[in-house]
A and B are shown apart, each in its own frame.
Chain A
Amino acid sequence: MSLVEVFSSSYEPYKVYFKYMLHHRAWDNPLYVIPAICLLTFLLEVFLPKK
């Protein structure tokens, strides 16, 4: 298989996984966890003294 074929075939199961993630709101879903971590660290910077 060529690099493009391998990449596109690897992509197929991920499309299904991504659709599942969009509808699955839970603590183990990075789609929602990443903004939560961003918000948490943003609040750390807001409320703790800065360098």
Chain B
Amino acid sequence: MNYGVTSRKGFYLDLFYVIFFDYLILLIGFYAFTSTVEYFFKELLGVFGITKYILWDMQDVSFLIQFLVVFLLLDLLQFFGHFLFYRIDLLWKFHKIHPAQEELGFAFTRHFHWAEYLTFKPLLYLPFMTLNFSVSEFIAIYLWVGYGFTFFSHCNVRVPWKWMNYLLITPETHYWHHAKNRPEGRRYAVNFASTTTIWDHLFGLFYLPQEDTLSPDLGIDDQKNIPHTFIGQMIHPFKELFDTQKKKHSPQSVKKLKKK
């Protein structure tokens, strides 16, 4: 029986991304990648003679404080990292395969480039290392605090979430994050947070129009250039980087630089 959910454009590719990231990468390799980041960060600190890296031992505080600190810190890190992926051109080349979709759906949640996943996510561990959390504890925190919720925010449901929109990232607020036409005066996008809207409110990036008739089209400006296959999407950012470098070093641009 077709409910219309599976007939969404790109549904099966998105489902493949879920299996690829959640099973082949996250469950099998995330631990090793995060441990590798931890090892090299400790080595780097050692170069500067820093051996004590625990700033606040969270193991000594109550569960409630631990939960609040961990929840808000992870949400802030994800918010800030997400913003940087829009703000820095190099990062945007990798991230844009995620917002380059015209329809949202729960399976769309994991539609990312592997390079983004395997560099950004393990780096999130470093602040938790200074709070005396081990890699396995961090992964557990990440899975329970920051992971499942994103499936909900990408759901294709038309339900008025009312007051919840101002506290949590709902499908309604996240829909505006993926809007092709940004609201007036917004240079990058809106609603960057993953779980709560606290950081969006604090940094003035929260946006939710009162009238539902303003529902936007989804996608990005250069939508047509993004391939529709998994391999194509994995190669695309590298191809763009290569093309940019090629343009930079072309005889015409060298001549222009010399004239300046």
Contact = CB atoms under 8 A, between A and B. Distances in A.
Interface of A: 1, 3, 6-8, 10-11, 13-14, 17-18, 21, 28, 30-31, 33-34, 37-38, 40-42, 44-46, 48-51
Given A34-B23, A42-B5, A51-B158, 19 more contacts: A3-B40, A6-B36, A6-B39, A7-B32, A7-B33, A10-B39, A14-B31, A28-B140, A30-B26, A33-B143, A33-B148, A38-B151, A41-B106, A41-B151, A41-B152, A44-B157, A45-B157, A49-B159, A50-B156
B47 to A, nearest CB: 15
A14 B25 CA distance: 12
Interface in B173-188: 175
A50 B106 contact: no
A38 B104 contact: no
Contacts of B235: none
Nearest to A31: B27
Q: Is the interface of A mostly helix, strand, loop or mixed?
A: helix
B240 interface: no
Contacts of A6: 35-36, 39-40
Q: 7 closest pairs, A vs B, by CB?
A: A10-B35, A41-B106, A14-B31, A48-B157, A10-B32, A11-B32, A41-B151
A49 B156 CA distance: 8
Q: Is the interface of B mostly helix, strand, loop or mixed?
A: helix
A40 B157 CA distance: 13
A34 B159 contact: no
30 contacts: A3-B40, A6-B36, A8-B32, A10-B34, A10-B36, A14-B28, A14-B32, A17-B136, A18-B28, A28-B140, A30-B26, A30-B27, A30-B147, A33-B143, A34-B18, A38-B18, A38-B151, A40-B151, A42-B5, A44-B155, A44-B157, A45-B3, A46-B3, A48-B158, A48-B159, A49-B157, A49-B158, A49-B159, A50-B4, A50-B158
Interface residues of B, number: 37
* Most B CB within 10 A of own CB, among A11, A28, A42, A51: A51
A13 B26 CA distance: 15
A42 B8 CA distance: 12
A12 to B, nearest CB: 9
B99 interface: no
Contact of B36 (A3, A45, A46): A3
B138 to A, nearest CB: 13
A41 B155 CA distance: 7
B215 A51 contact: yes
